[in-house]
Amino acid sequence: MDTNLPVSAHPRVVIIGCGFGGLRLAQALRHAPVQVVVVDRNNYHNFQPLLYQVATGALEADSIAYPVRKIFAGQPNFFFRLADVQRVDPARNAVVTSVGEIRYDYLVLATGSLTNFFGLESIERNAMQIKSIPNALNLRSFIFQNFEKALLTSDPAEKQALLNIVVVGGGPTGVEISGSLAEMRKHVLPKDYPELDLAAMQVILVEAGPALLGPMSAASQADAGRYLAELGVQVRLNTSIKKFENCRAYFSDTEFIPTENLVWAAGVNGAEVPGLPAAAVTRNKRVTVNGWNQVQGLANVFAIGDVANLVTDDMPKGMPMLAPVAQQQADHLAANLGRLLHGEAPRDFKYRNKGSMAIVARNKAVVDLPGNVHFNGILGWATWLFVHLLTLVGFRNKVVALVDWAFSYFSSDQALRLIIRPFSRRDVKDDQGKKSAERQTATAEYTPAPPAIQNAVS
Ligand SMILES: Cc1cc2nc3c(=O)[nH]c(=O)nc-3n(C[C@H](O)[C@H](O)[C@H](O)COP(=O)(O)OP(=O)(O)OC[C@H]3O[C@@H](n4cnc5c(N)ncnc54)[C@H](O)[C@@H]3O)c2cc1C
């Protein structure tokens, strides 16, 4: 297949991925004397920090995604191909994609990350993940489907498993989704399901480490724990889920929580692309780069964002997998490509940490700024809303998000609870191109949990 890209007198920069890093880099190269070719398997940019709001019905999917071609309308050196990149062939300066081969002069990997299930096969097969818009819509549909099913069963143990939601991973995503589900239980579900005893519904947040929000300040960790407790979320620290099958999330061979709903927010790996030198790929599938984001062993291949493993003296474990890191590396690489084209020496990247934040519920958020500044509550919440609104791509998306948030705030309601991606109980190809069995457990296979062990979580 021919990708029909025009011949150009300028060098071609191929960017794989139009997430935070790829999008920013392509924009930064707007006036550079290069042809920019972006390849992504989706034709939209996905604003991942708000995925959990789509999953819990607070925002519509369209308001956190933006069509790539619309973003770049009017940028004459920009070309886009909707394709899955299957491998890189550095010896031939080519990438092999699902729509054909694309040659490059410079290649930039901006492929982000994939959910890391740590080799726990039953969890990969049965848990819900939250990395993409289809994942978020699946999660929303699945939870509401299970409430509908809970109405139909007269078996108390089955009902309990349908209502229980276990979230694994106490980072910002796990904390945010747990808080949001607890708010939904308080404000939305009693209106929709007056026949259900929602006091029986448990939201359980499980974290393997000793604290929530690992990289944030002790004050933020404590505030987040307190907010979740106020909302009735059960937090279990120093606890690992080892297996999830037959509607049971197991801590050990014998101890488990009965649940149909397990959300896996416990970790990510880099989304490495096959074909790179093996020595450049780390154990968690990130690609080792030098100070100017050049891939180890390849002169004209670079990596930015989540997939890039850049180790510095102050970041010995590599840069954090965060949107600002991807964006700052994109800006820096654009400047370095300019230097290379002019025969100048590139410069090393330095990360400017502008702080971090997490929202738990309305008027409940935590913010850490450089210089040990910490604040919380309504000020934290307003800061979180403001920053996310500002960084959403597209004016329409900002307006739609603002309207949805204002509606939820003043009505204590969420408009978005349609079951629009009902699950088929069979293996499907997910949007990341990997095989995943969405839900395997048929009601007929359901094994009620012994009540004594259910009590173990309360
Ligand atoms: C639920 C969630 C919440 C988050 N919350 C925050 C937050 O609050 N603050 C924060 O700073 N960060 C947050 N992050 C992390 C942040 O989203 C990432 O750090 C950021 O997206 C990384 O940008 P990137 O450009 O490296 O990759 P991405 O933004 O992930 O983009 C990668 C792109 O590459 C494409 N792609 C990948 N492989 C291929 C292939 N083989 N072929 C074609 N296309 C491909 C994908 O379709 C995607 O468009 C969150 C992430 C998640 C999942």
Q: What is the pLDDT of residues 114-154, one digit of tens each?
A: 999 999 999 999 999 999 999 999 999 999 999 999 999 99
Atom index in ligand 1 nearest the CA of residue 265 equals 1
Spatial contact of 361 and 180, defined as CB atoms under 8 Å apart: yes
Residue 67: predicted pLDDT: 95
Residue 450: predicted pLDDT: 36
pLDDT beyond 70 at 436: no
Find out whether the beta carbon of 16 lies less than 6 Å from any atom of ligand 1: yes
Find out whether the beta carbon of 85 lies less than 6 Å from any atom of ligand 1: yes
pLDDT beyond 50 at 427: no
Task: Say how many Å lie between the CA of residue 220 and the centre of ligand 1.
Answer: 24
pLDDT tens track for 298-335? 999 999 999 999 999 989 999 999 999 999 999 999 99
Q: What is the mean pLDDT of residues 346-363?
A: 94
Q: How confident is the model at residue 401 (pLDDT cuts 50, 70, 90)?
A: confident
- CA dist 79 and 37 (Å) reads 5
- Residues annotated as catalytic (active site), given as ranges: 176
Residue 338 CA, chain-centre distance (Å), reads 31
Residue located nearest, by CA, to atom 7 of ligand 1:
49
pLDDT beyond 50 at 454: no
Q: What is the mean pLDDT of residues 12-21?
A: 98
Q: What is the mean pLDDT of residues 11-20?
A: 98
- CA dist 439 and 428 (Å) reads 10
- Name 393's Cβ contacts closer than 8 Å, sequence gap at least 6: 23, 45, 47, 66, 71
Spatial contact of 325 and 351, defined as CB atoms under 8 Å apart: yes
- Give the DSSP letter of residue 50: G
Is the dihedral angle over the CA atoms 187, 193, 194, 196 positive or is it negative?
negative
Find out whether the beta carbon of 111 lies less than 6 Å from any atom of ligand 1: yes
Find out whether the beta carbon of 305 lies less than 6 Å from any atom of ligand 1: yes
Residue located nearest, by CA, to atom 34 of ligand 1:
17
Find out whether the beta carbon of 112 lies less than 6 Å from any atom of ligand 1: yes
Task: Say how many Å lie between the CA of residue 25 and the centre of ligand 1.
Answer: 14
Residue 421: predicted pLDDT: 65
Task: Say how many Å lie between the CA of residue 48 and the centre of ligand 1.
Answer: 6
pLDDT beyond 80 at 392: yes
- Indicate the top mutation candidate among 14, 20, 109, 167 to test ligand 1's pocket, ranked by most ligand atoms within 8 A of CB: 20
Residue located nearest, by CA, to atom 37 of ligand 1:
111
- CA dist 291 and 458 (Å) reads 49
- Give the DSSP letter of residue 232: T
Coil/strand/helix, residue 5: coil
- CA dist 78 and 128 (Å) reads 36
Residue 288: predicted pLDDT: 97
The structure's pTM equals: 0.90
Find out whether the beta carbon of 309 lies less than 6 Å from any atom of ligand 1: no
Minimal CA–CA distance to 256: which of 449, 415, 82?
449
Q: What is the mean pLDDT of the chain?
A: 89
- Indicate the top mutation candidate among 15, 47, 48 to test ligand 1's pocket, ranked by most ligand atoms within 8 A of CB: 48
Find out whether the beta carbon of 324 lies less than 6 Å from any atom of ligand 1: yes
Q: What is the mean pLDDT of residues 235-242?
A: 95
Residue 441: predicted pLDDT: 35
Spatial contact of 41 and 133, defined as CB atoms under 8 Å apart: no
Coil/strand/helix, residue 196: coil
Find out whether the beta carbon of 26 lies less than 6 Å from any atom of ligand 1: no
Report DSSP letters for 267-296, one per residue: -EEE---TTS-GGGB-TTS-EEB-TT-BBT
- Indicate the top mutation candidate among 177, 304, 322 to test ligand 1's pocket, ranked by most ligand atoms within 8 A of CB: 322
For residue 427, give Cα distances in angstroms to 310, 437, 439: 36, 4, 8
Q: How confident is the model at residue 367 (pLDDT cuts 50, 70, 90)?
A: very high
- CA dist 305 and 323 (Å) reads 7
Query: Over pLDDT 70: what percentage of the chain?
Result: 91
